[in-house]
């Protein structure tokens, strides 16, 4: 099996994996929007905030990766990180 065949199979498998759902509270959405609008925020932080907002609006990983010029693996990774920390974020909001 050559590299292209393997890479093609991996890409096909990755496209079949369902993206994790992202649900934002009103506060989380507001904070992320403020980060995006902030003129002095680091570019990487702004891009991640845009990514999470897009994921929460139901946009696919492929679409987000194209629009933000990120690798689909990066998009999946940040979506996964947000999803895994959602309980901690909710608990922090309540305090």
- pLDDT tens string 59-89: 999 999 999 999 999 999 999 999 999 889 8
Supply the Cα-derived Rg of the chain in whole angstroms.
Answer: 15
Q: Which of 2, 14, 5, 19 is nearest to 80 (CA)?
A: 19
85 DSSP assignment: T
pLDDT band of residue 53 (cuts 50, 70, 90) is: very high
CA–CA dist 20, 91 (Å, integer): 20
Is the predicted pLDDT of residue 48 greater than 60, yes or no? Answer: yes
CA–CA dist 35, 42 (Å, integer): 9
Q: pTM of the full predicted structure?
A: 0.78
């Amino acid at each position: 099996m050559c590299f292209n065949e393997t890479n093609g199979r991996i890409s096909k498998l990755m496209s079949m994996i369902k993206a994790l759902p992202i649900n934002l509270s009103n506060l989380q959405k507001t904070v992320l929007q403020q980060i995006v609008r902030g003129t002095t925020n680091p570019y990487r932080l702004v891009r991640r905030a845009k990514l999470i907002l897009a994921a929460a609006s139901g946009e696919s990983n492929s679409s987000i990766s194209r629009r933000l010029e990120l690798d689909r693996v990066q998009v999946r990774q940040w979506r996964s990180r947000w999803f895994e920390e959602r309980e901690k974020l909710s608990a922090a909001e309540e305090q």
